[in-house]
Amino acid sequence: MSSDATGNRFPGEEPQGNRPTATAAEHPLAPFFRALGHRTWSRLGALWIDAGRFTLVTIPCNVVVTATRAEIIELLRDTGRIVAVFVNAGGTGVASSDFWVRDKSYSQASLQRQFRQHVNRHGHRCQVRIVPWAELSSCGLKVNQDTMDRRGLKMNRCTTPEGWADICRVAGGIPGLEATGCCIDGNLTGFIVSWTVGGACQGLLMHRDSEYQFMGAANTLAFGFTRLMLQRPEVHEVTLGRGWFPAEETIDRFKRHAGYDEEPLQLAVMLNPRWTGVLGSPVTKTLLRWVDAITARRSSLGSDLQVLDAAPLTRFPGDPDRPS
């Protein structure tokens, strides 16, 4: 395993001889997320990507970051982002959750009743299997386009045949990165991109075609993916990532009903100091709440308010005002 300039190490990499430590090693997943259209930074033992215009998040999203307040401030200044959201080692922040399955006997008995009914009702028509990247390049574009449209994401590389083919080509060159798909009557209905390293399988992306939303395809995909991974002798645990922030209860509930155990974690939310005075002021928050109310929540400013309200809760080890 090689280390970046901070001494933190990226999983899945072998020693590279006498590589100088002055330049950070690139995270193994950075080329894939760049191909998707994200900007990437390999810093502090983690991959950071842009989420929207203002935010930095880690990939995998539940990786624990060991960093000081000064190091996160430097990261925000270097990247020009306004806020960083990450799992804070040894500090405090917003209560969130991680979702894991570590039971090798995972089966339909692990599912909650309604989730299991969806799998039983439609599972006989579904085939869940590993989809080679060359195959996903030719059959996955429609699923990806539908997901981008549904989420309102403007990532043009993901929605053109040329861009999608390049994404799959890059993905095929990254060890441990693979796609698991669900097919109904020969048509791809959705896929999960996962990265397996060190005995842990990390679900990174789950995309689905809304045409099949009433056929239990997403349920069958999540169940089949989890079983496939846990059947491998080298895989000891599978995750679908941490809870979303700001919270998306329907997504977290889906993971729980799929048989994933919810484990507590502390999520750090930190503002760039250049913006703290303006964005953290009571006047700004009052204005945002007013705009959010008069637009009947269509402005999505409620999510921004949750970020601003969460930032003061984040403490780092060694902070003078850290709660005892």
Q: What is the pLDDT of residue 308?
A: 66
Q: How far is residue 61's CA from residue 48's CA, in Å, rounded to a whole number?
A: 9
Predicted confidence at residue 4, as pLDDT, reads 31
pLDDT above 50 (res 78) = yes
Question: What's residue 280's pLDDT?
Answer: 53
Nearest in space to 304 (alpha carbons), one of 36, 51, 48: 51
Please check the confidence at residue 256 and state whether its pLDDT lies above 80. yes
Using pLDDT thresholds of 50, 70 and 90, give the confidence band for residue 185.
confident
Q: Is the pLDDT of residue 276 over 70?
A: no
Q: How far apart are CA 4 and CA 267, in angstroms?
A: 23
Residue 246: φ, ψ to 5°:
-55, 155
Q: Please report how many Cα atoms fall inside a 13 Å half-sphere around the Cα of residue 279, on the Cβ side.
A: 20
User: What pLDDT is attached to residue 17?
Assistant: 35
Per-residue pLDDT at 12 exceeds 50: no
**Helical H segments across 40-140, by residue range:** 69-79, 113-122, 133-139
Tokens of 167: 């994404």
Sorted by where each starts, the structural domains of the chain and their CATH numbers stand as: 103-235 (3.40.630.30)
Give the mean pLDDT of the chain: 82
Q: Tell whether the model's pLDDT for residue 13 goes beyond 80.
A: no
Going by C-alpha positions, the residue among 52, 83, 12 that lies closest to residue 267 is 83
Find the largest Cα–Cα distance for the chain: 61
The mean pLDDT value for 175-187 works out to: 95
Q: Determine contact, residues 47/40, Cβ cutoff 8 Å.
A: yes
Q: What is the pLDDT of residues 124-165, one digit of tens each?
A: 889 999 999 999 999 999 999 888 888 777 666 777 899 999
Whole-number percent of the chain with pLDDT over 90: 55
pLDDT surpassing 80 at residue 105: yes
Distance CA 275, CA 260 (A): 38
How many Cα neighbours within 13 Å face the side chain of 89? 10
For residues 62 and 78, is the Cβ–Cβ distance under 8 A? Answer: no
Whether pLDDT at 292 is above 60: no
